[in-house]
Homo-oligomer: A and B are copies of this chain.
Amino acid sequence: MKAAIIGGGVIGGGWAARFLLNGWDVTVFDPDPEAERKIGEVLANARRALPALYDRALPSEGTLRFTDDMADAVKGADWVQESVPERLDIKHKVLAELDRHAPAEAIIASSTSGFKPSELTEKGARCIVAHPFNPVYLLPLIELVGDADTCGAAQAVLREVGFYPLHVRKEIDAHIADRFLEAVWREALWLVTDGIATTEEIDEAIRMGFGLRWAQMGLFETYRVAGGEAGMKHFMAQFGPCLTFPWTKLMDVPEFTDELVDLIAGQSDAQSGHMSIRELERLRDDNLVGIMRALKHSGSGAGGVISAHEAKLAQAGMPVTLDRRIPQGWTDYNGHMNETHYLEAGSKATDRFMEMVGADAAYIAGGLSYFTVENHVRYLAEAHAGDRLKAETRLLDGEGKKLHLFHTLTRGDGTEVATVETFLLHVDLNTRKTCLPSEAVQTALKEVAEAQAGQPVPEGAGKVGR
């Protein structure tokens, strides 16, 4: 399959990357002498991020070609994407030329956020709107507006490259999503203008609260859950009167009629009525936990808040190296904790053990650490989401560069659920070669060894295959 990208830049580059990484050949037309560099930068970001979404390999990349001849660019194209500047006269000129040169069966689409299909096609050129969201190589949403048959064909193509094409049933200025963005933008400008909040405070007010809800459920399903068992009508009745309150400066307000309530309640039932409020609440909570746990890795927004709070939570002392609950995201299709996360628990126990003997974050920042060379996990009993999980750790060998640990994992009822035996070597993080730990760490390891001296070798240590 072949795509022609008319106009590079961040949006055109994002389209090019999405097609290329899904195995399409891509030709770019852009008179900007910087186009190749700019698209190269978007592509570098995309190569880093898009494949990471999937647990399978994407197809082999297609070929990327630049041309300064528009007719050449669209030759043999299955999809032509126009992302030139947002001026109607420019769009008309480009679309006329694309229509003339593109294959009759090619789909010609515009990335416009500001113009309606009726405006783009008023000079006779065929075209639909396919409005993407930045970063185009990652975000699923494409708003499709225009001729229904063409939009239908376009949906099938866009799904093949991983998009979520949303057919907007009636054309309107700014389509759907940008209308919300514009409303929030206008309100935000008021808040800054009036000195109520800074840009940073506004961003925090979004990403620490409703932004986390909207990433998974959007507006109406969130409110359906908030309305509780009493349902969407109850929620509407409660918040309807607010439409006349000065809760935003944006005051052209729809009339709050019974018909509107019925329309929304009915649509909400069709959308979410197959799940009870309790089920929706749990889905929402599992998603929130998953999203916030994901943000812990970078420390952004809610992830940073959780890590800061977690650092203040008490930790049990040796030999207890782990004490936590099992999150929903650790379970699998067998209805229990997945094998991987027993090792994750063991790995966290190793981290905590290292910290307790002085091989902590500061030590690692100083260029020394331990690398795991071998792990042996024995699964003894099932564990489930919500179970408390503890680890106790035996030091089997801490001489020289070696660290040999044996973690015993138990769940809240005291049942032993697994053992994780782990062999590590001390390394210099600059050379990536083994070396001796610091004197302080060696001393701390000796103290642990002495404290544990005389305890028998744990059952299951050193053996594979029962």
Given A54-B313, A166-B201, are A206 and B183 also a contact pair (CB < 8 Å)?
no
Q: What's the minimum C-beta distance from A105 to chain B, rounded to whole angstroms?
A: 22
Is the CB–CB distance between B423 and A334 below 8 Å? no
Is the CB–CB distance between B203 and A218 below 8 Å? yes
Is the CB–CB distance between B375 and A376 below 8 Å? yes
> Is A31's CB within 8 Å of the partner chain B?
no
Option from B56, B195, B309 in Cβ contact (under 8 Å) with A315? B56
Given A189-B254, A271-B198, are A306 and B134 also a contact pair (CB < 8 Å)?
no
11 more CB-based (< 8 A) A-B contacts, given A334-B371, A376-B377: A48-B328, A55-B310, A57-B325, A141-B208, A169-B201, A177-B205, A180-B184, A189-B264, A211-B215, A290-B295, A374-B465
> Is A99's CB within 8 Å of the partner chain B?
no
Q: What's the minimum C-beta distance from A270 to chain B, rounded to whole angstroms?
A: 7
Inter-chain contacts of A310 with B (CB < 8 A): 54-56
Inter-chain contacts of A148 with B (CB < 8 A): none
Is the CB–CB distance between A179 and B143 below 8 Å? no
In the complex, what residue of chain B is closest to A175 when comparing beta carbons? B205
Is the CB–CB distance between A289 and B52 below 8 Å? yes
Q: How far is the CA of A327 from the CA of B10 in the complex (A)?
A: 23
Q: Which of A67-75, A122-130, A343-351, A435-443 contacts B (4 or more CB under 8 A)?
A: A343-351
> 20 A-B Cβ contacts within 8 A?
A47-B386, A48-B328, A49-B288, A53-B289, A57-B323, A133-B213, A138-B285, A174-B247, A177-B210, A180-B188, A183-B186, A184-B219, A186-B254, A206-B218, A211-B216, A211-B218, A290-B295, A340-B347, A343-B343, A462-B464
Q: What's the minimum C-beta distance from A332 to chain B, rounded to whole angstroms?
A: 9
Inter-chain contacts of A429 with B (CB < 8 A): 334-335
Interface residues in A147-176 by Cβ distance below 8 A to B read 159-160, 162-164, 166, 168-170, 172-174, 176
Is the CB–CB distance between B374 and A377 below 8 Å? yes
Copies in the complex: 2
Is the CB–CB distance between A271 and B54 below 8 Å? no
Is the CB–CB distance between B204 and A141 below 8 Å? yes
In the complex, what residue of chain B is closest to A243 when comparing beta carbons? B186
Is the CB–CB distance between A246 and B164 below 8 Å? no
Complex A-B, nearest 3 residue pairs according to Cβ-Cβ distance, in ascending order: A203-B218, A250-B250, A290-B294
Is the CB–CB distance between B193 and A187 below 8 Å? no
Interface residues in A330-363 by Cβ distance below 8 A to B read 333-335, 338-341, 343-344, 347-348, 361
Option from B10, B263, B305, B315 in Cβ contact (under 8 Å) with A192? B263
Q: Which of A183, A267, A466 has the most C-beta atoms of chain B within 10 angstroms of its own C-beta?
A: A183
Is the CB–CB distance between B186 and A205 below 8 Å? no
Inter-chain contacts of A56 with B (CB < 8 A): 310, 313-315, 323-324
Is the CB–CB distance between B285 and A295 below 8 Å? no
> Is A319's CB within 8 Å of the partner chain B?
no
> Is A242's CB within 8 Å of the partner chain B?
yes
Is the CB–CB distance between A286 and B297 below 8 Å? yes
Digit string of A132-148 for contact with B (CB within 8 Å is 1, else 0)?
A: 01110011110100000
Q: Which of A76-84, A90-98, A276-284, A451-459 contacts B (4 or more CB under 8 A)?
A: A276-284
Inter-chain contacts of A287 with B (CB < 8 A): 294-295, 298, 300
Is the CB–CB distance between A252 and B254 below 8 Å? no
> Is A212's CB within 8 Å of the partner chain B?
yes
> Is A233's CB within 8 Å of the partner chain B?
no
Q: What's the minimum C-beta distance from A343 to chain B, rounded to whole angstroms?
A: 5
> Is A182's CB within 8 Å of the partner chain B?
yes
Is the CB–CB distance between A313 and B166 below 8 Å? no
Q: What's the minimum C-beta distance from A82 to chain B, rounded to whole angstroms?
A: 18
Q: How far is the CA of A369 from the CA of B336 in the complex (A)?
A: 12
> Is A40's CB within 8 Å of the partner chain B?
no
Is the CB–CB distance between B465 and A327 below 8 Å? no
Given A183-B187, A252-B251, are A209 and B177 also a contact pair (CB < 8 Å)?
yes
Is the CB–CB distance between B208 and A211 below 8 Å? no
Q: What's the minimum C-beta distance from A22 to chain B, rounded to whole angstroms?
A: 9
Q: How far is the CA of A202 from the CA of B298 in the complex (A)?
A: 30
Q: What's the minimum C-beta distance from A167 to chain B, rounded to whole angstroms?
A: 8
